[in-house]
Amino acid sequence: MATIIAKRLALSNVRGIEPIFPHQTKQVCAYSVQPKVKESSSKYKVVVVGGGSGGCAIAAKFASSLGKDIAVVEPQETHYYQPIWTLVGAGLKDFGGSGRPMTEVLPESCTWIKEKATVFDPENNCLKLGSGEKIHYDYLVLGLGMQVDYDKIPGLEAAFQEDPMVASNYHPKWVQKTNPALQSFKGGNAIFTFPNTGIKCPGAPQKIMYLAEEIFRKNGVRDKSHVIYNSSLPVIFAQPKYAKALWEVVKDRGIQVNLRTNLAAVDHKTKTATFELLDEGNKTFEEKYDFLHATPPMSAPSVLKSSPLANEAGFVAVDKHTLQHDKFSNVFGIGDCTSVPTPKTAAAAACQSGILHDNLTAVMEGKQTKPLYDGYTSCPLVTSSNKCILAEFEGFSMTSLETFPVIRQDVERQTSYWLKADMLPQLYWRMHVKGKWNGPRTFRKLFHLGMGK
């Protein structure tokens, strides 16, 4: 598998794929897309809102045929490959390599609208920007991702600002605090949390815990450390096969797991975290911390919550198999901002991108959409600096859907870590954001030789 992918990556000599590190002085691509000049009103065939994982992939897929008639609404100047932040937090990867300028990630032929969408008006096929400009469209694709709500936990934002031992791998600033804090940890309570909401990359809160525990062992402070995982979930992992494997990991490492336990507040001055016991009427207790990795509550972006495109939970209401909106047939959604009931990962967005492209093309041609998405998602569960459990499954049924039939993917493997740490970032930058990767389904069929999924 690794050889096949490596050869394919080597052949995909795409412009502008080298990592952008702060200390490098590489020449900026002369053909990069630039933000468009503001107008009072403009019209496009396809408008993609969100320049994240899903939005960039969709823009790239349509750019060759639509050119400037596809617009991407994205206010940020930097696109981050966030799955690598687990390894950044553990000091295994450099933060600078996790980001690229948006000018180089978006297809050069598209129109980049460097603004924020503020109002959606699907009845009139338009949206409004922060500047007041109205953007009209024939078709709309929503790829806004999820909103991180650090402010929902009293005291947490102040703790990030003032306590060097409080970090979070879900923020481009706070992730850079994680490894320095872990390296300076001298013992005591190291607490890792999972909030009482859905989140992107639901395996990440415990991945950093395993890496931290390894750091404590290497630094000779493990015997003085109490590693605690306080999760709001009723299980350690949603998919049973991989959950069983993870229970073995925490047992072997001597990690304490407290389920249905939710971080409610932080007082960095007394280094105290308050937790709710969700199955006991939200009864609370306090716990001292010497290191705290807080995974924030997350939700749909506020602009979606207040729009007619959202369901009751605030997410884009789409058919889970076609990704087409339940009410507005010219609207589609992709990735974390949608109501699709599968764990929210970059792998899911990659799989969805090909399906959305096919179904949106069908609608443009006056044809019917097809129920193609089966809920595939993947979560490489890093358990050490050289081991990983490669979880792949259907998010709808929670049944395993693995690519490699000749190995047990629920076993910690060095090859799985190499795939996560080295191959997947290259796959992401060279193929996924370029619209050339729709997930491993083709490889899975090849390796299974047509026998099963």
Catalytic residues: 201, 379
- Tell me how many degrees the CA angle 423-429-432 measures, rounded to the nearest 5: 95
Task: Tell me the HSE value of 315 on the side-chain side, using a 13 A CA sphere.
Answer: 22
Whole-angstrom Cα distance, residue 287 to residue 302? 32
Please give the full DSSP string across 349-385, using - where no structure is assigned.
Answer: HHHHHHHHHHHHHHHHTT---------EEEEEEEEET
Three-state SS for 86?
Answer: helix
Q: Write down how long the chain is.
A: 453
Whole-angstrom Cα distance, residue 391 to residue 393? 7
Whole-angstrom Cα distance, residue 206 to residue 196? 15
Beta strand pairing call for 291-293 and 117-121: unpaired
Tokens of 164: 């060097």
435 burial type by CB count under 10 A (0-12 exposed, 13-18 middle, 19+ buried) = buried
